[in-house]
């Protein structure tokens, strides 16, 4: 394994953290220069017999490798109790005593490559690392002739810092077709992001088909920010997105926004509004001034239908209910609304996630709070965490990917700056437990990089804003706090440039990084 040594002092090496050009930075790298392995046409990808998890991860890896290598790479089973047969093997070891489901090891010897993990997620994380150990052209969408597919020898022992490492994609303000969402999912899988938070509804658009409430998409899906985009996902399309994400080790978290940011629903069903009439579609770039009628039973009848259908299509454990920017609501109304929503989410077997404004109105032990801005309701977030709520940290000044990289320059044609400009270093230079004084560190469940789309149109603009800053958030969520080192990170990000380019991912060539020539 190609290794450089830094003095940052990771926890596994007593003061000299061995690094490979992998993002996120692994916990431990033990190189063996004489133990490289070369993938050949006669190899197979082996998986533990009888394990659906190992079969899934092996099938995903084989699919990734077949096109650029041109090798058949059949997936074969390894009988229980047998050692790795050589070639490439993904072995699920249920006796693994690792405390985190994302833990894994990768061993590369002259005989082959073995990825071991105790759970499905760990195997997919090992695949993500192996992809970055292979030559850059492994990311080619076409067959590459004459390339030696050599993997450097050694061992990687790795585990995530946090169990939740998310990326939020807003498809409500500006609709993104399924093919583009899948492309974004494929990029997330490279960097051990394990949750895709889909913001499906907002003032400007309703993007998920609800068969019992067809007007939500017939009317509410008919526009977007600026009146430019329209569209929605059929239930089959949504299920396909969920399956595509799962096949890459990613769990989808759907968000159904309320009680504000719900104008598209009001335009679809007027009985949801305070005056009982349907307003015209909201095509502005900012939020609507109208929201759901909190005391109206029609509101909860519709939400029952919506949550029932969305929960049935979503095998993951979470359902996000939004709840942000509710300053125009009384505490009594908010307590009523979130109490009713929490009942519905529990009724349909999901765990509730809400933006931080919901924290004061939910049972802490039963919910997850997403913290996005300081100074709004800090004391309530801290109280919820002290009461047992878990917290996902998505700070707008570090992890909102729709912020511009720098001010006032024509090379930043997209994005906004209401939370300030955010360069790559700023995306990297933070610790989740340090953002809010008094927040118990043990309450932090993970991190999320959010990409809002009021002024983002299409996957190319989305990728330009997301990459490379998404890598900084991914590393913050994965690597040990003591291993954070800007110079080492910038070097490893530079190595990702050719890989992103090879895969056709648009990214910003920030001057903070010394990109290789041609990347």
Q: What are phi and psi of 308, to 5 degrees?
A: -60, -45
Q: Do 497 and 516 form a contact (C-beta atoms < 8 A)?
A: yes
Q: Do 319 and 310 form a contact (C-beta atoms < 8 A)?
A: yes
| Total Cβ atoms within 10 A of residue 163 | 15
Contacts of 372 (CB under 8 A, 6+ apart): 324, 355, 356, 394, 395, 396, 400, 450
Distance between CA atoms of 488 and 503, rounded to whole angstroms? 23
Query: Which spans in 26-135 are helix H?
Result: 52-69, 120-133
Q: Do 108 and 153 form a contact (C-beta atoms < 8 A)?
A: yes
Distance between CA atoms of 351 and 370, rounded to whole angstroms? 13
Which two tokens mark 156? 């990687």
Widest CA span in the chain: 75
Could you give the C-alpha distances from 129 to 113, 196, 386, 424, 506, in angstroms and in order? 12, 19, 36, 22, 21
Contacts of 174 (CB under 8 A, 6+ apart): 204, 205, 224, 225, 228, 229, 453, 454, 456, 457, 458
Task: Bin 399: left if φ > 0, else alpha if -120 < ψ < 50, else beta.
Answer: alpha
Q: Do 415 and 407 form a contact (C-beta atoms < 8 A)?
A: no
| Total Cβ atoms within 10 A of residue 501 | 18
Which two tokens mark 210? 């609800």
Q: CB burial class (10 A; 0-12, 13-18, 19+) of residue 519? A: middle
Which residues are designated catalytic? 325
List the Cα angle 337/339/342 in 5-degree steps.
105
């Amino acid at each position: 394994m190609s290794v450089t040594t830094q003095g940052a002092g990771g926890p596994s090496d007593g003061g000299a953290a061995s690094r490979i050009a992998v993002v996120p930075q692994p916990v431990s790298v033990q190189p063996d220069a004489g133990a490289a392995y070369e993938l050949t046409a006669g190899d197979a990808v082996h998986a533990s017999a009888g394990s659906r998890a190992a079969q899934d991860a092996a099938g995903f890896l084989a699919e990734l490798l077949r096109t650029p290598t041109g090798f058949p790479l059949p997936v074969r089973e390894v009988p229980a109790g047998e050692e790795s047969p050589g070639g490439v093997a993904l072995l699920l070891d249920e006796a693994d005593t690792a405390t985190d489901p994302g833990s894994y090891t990768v061993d590369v010897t002259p005989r082959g490559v073995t990825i071991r993990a105790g759970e499905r997620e760990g195997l997919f994380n090992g695949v993500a690392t192996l992809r970055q150990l292979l030559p850059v052209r492994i990311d080619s969408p076409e067959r590459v002739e004459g390339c030696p597919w050599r993997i450097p020898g050694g061992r990687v022992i790795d585990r995530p810092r946090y169990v939740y490492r998310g990326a939020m994609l807003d498809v409500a303000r500006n609709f993104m077709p399924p093919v583009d969402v899948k492309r974004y999912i494929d990029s997330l899988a490279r960097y051990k992001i394990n949750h895709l938070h889909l913001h499906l509804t907002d003032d400007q658009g309703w993007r998920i088909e609800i068969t019992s409430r067809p007007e939500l998409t017939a009317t509410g899906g008919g526009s977007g920010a600026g009146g430019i985009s329209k569209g929605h996902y059929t239930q089959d399309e949504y299920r396909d997105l969920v399956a595509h994400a799962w096949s890459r080790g990613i769990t989808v978290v759907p968000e159904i926004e309320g009680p504000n940011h719900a104008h598209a629903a009001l335009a679809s069903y007027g009985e949801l509004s305070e005056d009982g009439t349907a307003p015209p579609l909201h095509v502005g770039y900012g939020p609507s001034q109208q929201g759901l009628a909190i005391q109206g039973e029609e509101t909860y009848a519709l939400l029952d239908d919506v949550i029932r259908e969305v929960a049935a299509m979503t095998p993951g454990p979470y359902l996000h209910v939004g709840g942000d920017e509710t300053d125009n609501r009384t505490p009594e109304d908010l307590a009523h609304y979130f109490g009713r929503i929490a009942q519905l989410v529990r009724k349909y077997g999901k765990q509730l996630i809400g933006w931080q404004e919901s924290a004061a109105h939910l049972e802490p032990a039963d919910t997850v709070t997403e913290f996005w801005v300081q100074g709004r309701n800090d004391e309530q977030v801290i109280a919820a965490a002290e009461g047992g709520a878990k917290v996902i940290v998505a700070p707008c000044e570090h992890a909102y990917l729709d912020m511009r990289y720098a001010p006032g320059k024509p090379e930043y044609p997209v994005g906004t700056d209401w939370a300030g400009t955010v360069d790559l270093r700023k995306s990297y230079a933070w610790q989740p437990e340090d953002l809010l004084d008094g927040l118990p560190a043990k309450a932090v469940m993970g991190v999320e990089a959010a990409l809002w789309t009021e002024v983002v149109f299409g996957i190319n603009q989305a990728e330009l804003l997301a990459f490379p800053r998404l890598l900084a958030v991914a590393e913050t969520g994965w690597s040990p706090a003591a291993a954070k080192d800007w110079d080492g990170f910038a070097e490893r990000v530079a190595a990702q440039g050719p890989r992103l380019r090879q895969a056709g991912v648009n990214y910003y060539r920030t001057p903070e990084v010394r990109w290789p020539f041609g990347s």
